[in-house]
Amino acid sequence: MLALSTDGVVAAIHRGSLHDGPGLRTTVFLQGCHLRCAWCHNPETWAPRPRLAWVAADCIGCGGCAGTCPDRRLAAGPQPAPEGCTACGGCVQGCPSAALRLQGAVRSADDVVAEVLRDGATLRAGGGLTVSGGEPLDQPAFAAAILAAAGRAGLHRCLDTSGDAPSAAVAAVLPHTDLWLLDWKCSDDARHRTLTGVGNGRIRATLDRLAAAGARIWLRCPIVPGLNDDDVHLAGIAALSRSHPVERVEVMPFHRHGAGKAAANARRIHDAPSATPAQAAAWRGRLADLGCRHLHAA
């Protein structure tokens, strides 16, 4: 069994979330993800370590960053994660418009949970803490330490994960997780590899393991027009809802909210418009026709 790690890399902490589990929640996003989903809405979290991001739209071209970079990495002007950048933050201090930002910070589990507990009374009244990412199981010992501390503080705990993780990582967080938010991205293994960089075999194994352990599971299904909205995938979702003790199936329509974050981190996501409400309704309707159980009506 993995020993709990008291330190890890946190991408962000968002308060007041209504979409990351039941009730009003605070979501802790961990840095680092080995998947490369074509539609990723958090592409700034891919790097496992802190990274320099540049929001070009906020840059006023003053050149202040060049003078404060100790290694002169920005002599030619600001850019996301210049070669050799150590993410020391010197240029961030020299940027008056906050166009340069550090993405990710090393923090302790106790520090993270102490911040979450600023809203402790509210979160205990019907919400809780969700650990997300990135891929939180890329930092399993740190995720487990956060979840364990949250449990000691009386918070309900969710883990939002792709499920593509070794069995030891799943085992590390299983005792400390009250509800699993498990992504199911594509039902065809080869197509899943094309769209995300990994196959779906290990994700199926995680789902099987959770079912055998009696874990509570919500299946979250990102649907992207033209990429994975075909009947093969929708039928696969419906089949999983019947073969596994899934409490809820959520359709998560593609949106382009991650495009700006991707550009700031020299990334790209799928170049398509956000899904429309009519498209989302049609997907849910087709899932119902295919016999999907526990389908959540958004």
Q: How far apart are CA 156 and CA 191, in angstroms?
A: 35
Domain boundary among 70, 103, 136: 103
What does the block give as tokens for 170?
A: 């799943």
Q: Tokens 């680092």 appear where?
A: 32
Query: For position 62, what pLDDT does the model report?
Result: 87
Q: What is the CATH number of the domain that holds 157?
A: 3.20.20.70
**Is residue 278 predicted with pLDDT exceeding 60?**
yes
Same domain for 24 and 56, yes or no, is: no
Structural domain including 263 reads 7-48+108-289
Same domain for 243 and 273, yes or no, is: yes
Query: For position 80, what pLDDT does the model report?
Result: 75
Query: For position 214, what pLDDT does the model report?
Result: 97
Q: How far apart are CA 34 and CA 184, in angstroms?
A: 16
**Is residue 266 predicted with pLDDT exceeding 80?**
no
pLDDT tens per residue across span 95-130: 888 888 888 899 999 999 999 999 999 999 999 999
Domain tally, the chain: 2
Same domain for 37 and 160, yes or no, is: yes
What pTM did the predictor assign?
A: 0.88
Same domain for 207 and 92, yes or no, is: no
Same domain for 246 and 271, yes or no, is: yes
DSSP letters for 202-214: HHHHHHHHHHHHT
Q: How far apart are CA 297 and CA 248, in angstroms?
A: 10
Same domain for 203 and 187, yes or no, is: yes
- Asked if 129 contacts 156 with a C-beta cutoff of 8 angstroms, the reply is yes
- Asked if 38 contacts 196 with a C-beta cutoff of 8 angstroms, the reply is yes
Going by DSSP bridges, is the β-strand pair 157-161/25-30 parallel, antiparallel, or unpaired?
unpaired
Work out the average pLDDT over 239-267. Answer: 77
Of 93 and 144, the structure prediction assigns the larger pLDDT to 144
Q: Around 211, how many Cα atoms within 13 Å sit in the side-chain half-sphere?
A: 15
Same domain for 61 and 129, yes or no, is: no
pLDDT tens per residue across span 45-67: 888 888 888 877 788 888 888 88
**Is residue 264 predicted with pLDDT exceeding 70?**
no
**Is residue 28 predicted with pLDDT exceeding 60?**
yes
Within 10 angstroms of residue 124's Cβ, the number of other Cβ atoms is 15
Same domain for 209 and 160, yes or no, is: yes
Could you tell me which of 55, 54, 12, 9 has the C-alpha nearest to residue 32? 9
pLDDT tens per residue across span 150-204: 999 999 999 999 999 999 999 999 999 999 999 999 999 999 999 999 999 999 9
